[in-house]
Structure 1
């Protein structure tokens, strides 16, 4: 699958993979900040997200192969790859299947473990919005407020709402497929190999995605891993603490 992407800057290639319900658009500011340090940053839209193609098929194995196809198509030599949440798991699946095709990995606030499904309220909220009757974005936000109480989270989700060529509201995400396959987002790793390349795991001090006890499991698969905590950040480290995030990324890249 040919993924939509946004390229910023020139230099050593860095790929960025967003989380579930996100897109490359969410990474515009961060991409520019990193590119300004002398890198070519490719922010990708995952399948069924953003402006990438839609598919009835959705899994980490497929998203990892989409990433591999992108690297081959653009003839990128051992890029650095950043993945947040769902994107981080995609990157880990890719690394386990495609030895020698990357130089370093940066995994943002996700560990190589199973997470119970916790997106049900989001799926319910998004599906509750009747796009045919929607006349403005405020109506959508009021409807979503019944399911998603966080203002920031609602704004993040509603970035997927846009007007199509007919002037009607539509979703950038493939909501029917994500609704059906959302259980896969928390999936565990069943076929692992040791990854010897340098890996940085970034976690937010206020997030509950990577605990101290997870470090042992991380080191088992990624023996050359470093786990760094960004103080005051939750799960969306790059949005909440952009300067600290970029500083950690650039410092690790060296």
Structure 2
């Protein structure tokens, strides 16, 4: 079930963010699903703690039901995140600390290691589905279980990761901000900035979904995406 909410009126410009160090481009790990064509693809980008396998089932489902898009960035879908800073509402610092404290002895099978890590995370990360998502980052390297995400780097640059750069030119195309009704990452206080930067945006919430919308309510997520995308 989708719940659609109206956007508010624009607000004044935000103060500039602190100066950042030079940005260096790096190759991105990615996976391609389907056959390349002559039209631009539908690009799915995961978030923090994610990897290119997170949207694999979503991608395969959309490939079966959606054609290519006629123009580059013809339209945009933002899943449970707004164009504002989310540092203060995020529980990720607590999750990072919990992940760092996980202790798994060598020699365990993968399933046993995941069960042990799940148990150790449960006091902080109480949502079982969220724990399973975090556990996709647990990998075995030379007999030891480690987190494949760089927790120290994420922790050190957390404020930058969860902030949003200042843009003055809006994106004129259709946009959908698709949130989970149980998640705090899109709220009414974000509507003015969404409208300022995305004047043709619509905000919808999937009832009963948390931050990982596609995992919590898969069919509803797919239906919302297909409804927003143009017909092939």
Q: Which residue of 1 aligns with 2:163?
A: 187
Indicate if the aligned counterparts of 1:106 and 1:199 stay in contact, CA closer than 8 A: yes
Q: Which residue of 2 aligns with 1:150?
A: 127
Are 2:135 and 1:107 aligned? no
Are 2:31 and 1:6 aligned? yes
Indicate if the aligned counterparts of 1:124 and 1:147 stay in contact, CA closer than 8 A: no
Unaligned 5+ runs, structure 1: 41-75, 80-101
Q: Which residue of 1 aligns with 2:9?
A: none
Given candidates 18, 33, 52, the residue that maps to 2:61 is 33
TM score, norm. by length of structure 2: 0.76
Deviation at 1:173, TM superposition (A): 0.9
Unaligned 5+ runs, structure 2: 1-25
Structure 1 runs (4+) deviating above 3 angstroms are 76-79, 130-135
Are 2:92 and 1:119 aligned? yes
Indicate if the aligned counterparts of 1:196 and 1:224 stay in contact, CA closer than 8 A: yes
Deviation at 1:192, TM superposition (A): 3.1
Indicate if the aligned counterparts of 1:123 and 1:179 stay in contact, CA closer than 8 A: yes
Q: Which residue of 2 aligns with 1:138?
A: 115
Are 2:38 and 1:15 aligned? no
Deviation at 1:185, TM superposition (A): 2.8
CA distance, structure 2, for counterparts of residue 161 and residue 39 of structure 1: 35
Bigger Rg, structure 1 or 2: 2
Alignment deviations for residues 68-93 of structure 1 (CA, whole Å, 9 cap, x no partner): xxxxxxxx9844xxxxxxxxxxxxxx
CA distance, structure 2, for counterparts of residue 203 and residue 148 of structure 1: 20
Given candidates 231, 234, 237, the residue that maps to 2:213 is 237
Given candidates 169, 173, 177, the residue that maps to 2:153 is 177
Q: Which residue of 2 aligns with 1:216?
A: 192
Q: Which residue of 1 aligns with 2:18?
A: none
Aligned in 2, Cα 1:132/1:183: closer, same or farther, shift over 3 Å?
Answer: farther
CA distance, structure 1, for counterparts of residue 123 and residue 187 of structure 2: 30
- Whose relative contact order is higher, 1 or 2, with alpha carbons under 8 Å and at least 6 apart? 2
CA-atom RMSD in angstroms: 2.3
CA distance, structure 2, for counterparts of residue 118 and residue 134 of structure 1: 32
Q: Which residue of 2 aligns with 1:250?
A: 226
CA distance, structure 2, for counterparts of residue 25 and residue 237 of structure 1: 15
Deviation at 1:168, TM superposition (A): 2.5
